[in-house]
């Protein structure tokens, strides 16, 4: 196990990715705020996608105190497009909890787990990378490396406990933060999902999966078919402005600005009434994939003139020409592209 860690760290010293939230190999750990922010953003999201969001958040809220003091709507708007919006709500809750501790993050896995929204993975990652604590950090890249290294035949997700135990055995006492990031980099750049570059891998001589065929690991259980849902969103434009609503704090896309819709959810098709009585015109349908279901969302254009009734409902007029600044979730941003360009005289 010690030789494995040694070989990997030597490889990392020469091949580490340069990322804005990282310190170079062997350097003092980075600011815990940067580590925590990046790890929350990186969950179920690619490094390429996170880079601009990380820079934007640091520009707007350079410290955990700044983020804690931000308005919920501002943070949700800045997060728009990163997906999995519960992460943004948890981000704010955690920032406020840390601010209440004078801005000091706990420096152990156990302490970090007590913060709102911080699960096992994030706690281990922050403890290892920000505080150099020995912790088994297991993301999707590490799962792949370890399952191939040991040819773990148990399908995911049942194999997660074994993978974590194997990672725990591999993790050294010295430089555990660099080791965690080295495992991530190895999975991202060498031990890739398809066509792994085994000849370049510092662990290839000890890899059981290489001899058996690395691409068969990790073994995955058959995917269940996702439910297909259908819903409608409503485009109401007047004097160059579009009517937007704020979604409830709890539930899907909670707290986000959005187009009004007919109440679709992960469990059912939308059956609610439009915000105004017709006439309505079908502008087309967009398809969007969520974690647990797929949605076909039909965009309906209001072509009446009963604007006054909207003023009795919660919502706001937003300049159509500046809709990209509203922070719409990706689903509604896609639907909005179906709307016709107008001259402001609808």
- Bridge partners (DSSP) of residue 237 are 242
How much is the pLDDT for 224?
85
d(CA 318, CA 57): 23
Angle made by CA atoms 179, 185, 189, in degrees to the nearest 5: 150
Among 6, 4, 26, smallest CA distance to 16 is for 26
Angstrom CA distances, 62 to 31, 36, 80, stand at: 11, 13, 19
Which burial class, exposed, middle or buried, applies to 340 when counting CB atoms under 10 A from its CB (0-12, 13-18, 19+)? exposed
311 a catalytic residue: no
Residue 213: CA atoms inside 13 Å, Cβ hemisphere, count? 4
Q: Looking at 2, 10, 39, 162, which residue is catalytic?
A: 39
Whether residue 339 contacts residue 301, with contact meaning beta carbons closer than 8 Å, is answered with yes
Whether residue 37 contacts residue 55, with contact meaning beta carbons closer than 8 Å, is answered with no
Q: What is the pLDDT of residues 54-92, one digit of tens each?
A: 999 999 999 999 999 999 989 988 998 888 888 999 999
Q: Say which DSSP state 101 is in.
A: T
What's the average pLDDT block by block, 10 residues per block, for the chain (346 residues)? 91 97 94 97 91 97 98 90 87 97 97 96 97 96 97 95 96 96 97 96 95 94 90 95 90 88 94 92 95 94 89 90 90 94 51
Q: What is the pLDDT of residues 173-210, one digit of tens each?
A: 999 999 999 999 999 999 999 999 999 999 999 999 99
How much is the pLDDT for 2?
82
* The pTM of the whole model exceeds 0.75: yes
How much is the pLDDT for 342?
54
């Amino acid at each position: 196990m010690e030789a494995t860690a040694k070989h990997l760290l030597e490889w990392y010293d020469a091949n580490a990715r340069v990322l804005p939230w990282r310190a170079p190999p062997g350097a003092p750990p980075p600011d815990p705020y940067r580590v925590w922010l990046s790890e929350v953003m990186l969950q179920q999201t690619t490094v390429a996608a996170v880079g601009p969001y990380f820079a934007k958040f640091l520009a707007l809220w350079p410290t955990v105190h700044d983020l804690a003091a931000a308005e919920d709507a501002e943070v949700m708007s800045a997060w728009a497009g990163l997906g999995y919006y519960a992460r943004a709500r948890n981000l704010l809750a955690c920032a406020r909890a840390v601010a209440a501790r004078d801005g000091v993050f706990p420096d152990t896995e156990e302490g970090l787990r007590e913060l709102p929204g911080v699960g096992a993975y994030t706690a281990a990652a922050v403890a290892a990378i920000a505080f150099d604590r020995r912790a088994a950090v297991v993301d999707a890249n590490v799962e792949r490396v370890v399952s191939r290294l040991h040819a773990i035949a148990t399908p995911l997700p049942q194999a997660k406990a074994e993978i974590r135990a194997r990672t725990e055995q591999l993790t050294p006492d010295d430089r555990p933060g660099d080791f965690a990031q080295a495992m991530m980099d190895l999975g991202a750049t060498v031990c890739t999902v398809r066509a792994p570059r085994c000849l370049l891998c510092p662990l290839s001589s000890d890899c059981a999966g290489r001899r058996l065929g690395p691409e068969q690991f990790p073994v995955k259980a058959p995917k269940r078919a996702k439910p297909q849902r259908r819903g409608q969103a409503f485009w109401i434009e007047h004097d160059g402005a579009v009517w937007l609503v704020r979604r409830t704090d709890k539930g899907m896309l909670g707290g986000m600005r959005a187009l009004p819709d007919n109440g679709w959810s992960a469990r059912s098709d939308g059956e609610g009434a439009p915000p105004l009585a017709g006439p309505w015109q079908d502008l087309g349908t967009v398809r969007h994939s969520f974690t647990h279901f797929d949605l076909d969302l039909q965009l309906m254009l209001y072509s009446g003139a009963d604007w006054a009734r909207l003023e009795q409902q919660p919502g706001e007029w937003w300049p159509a020409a500046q809709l990209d600044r509203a922070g719409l979730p990706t689903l509604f941003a896609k639907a909005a592209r179906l709307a016709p360009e107008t001259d402001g005289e609808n």
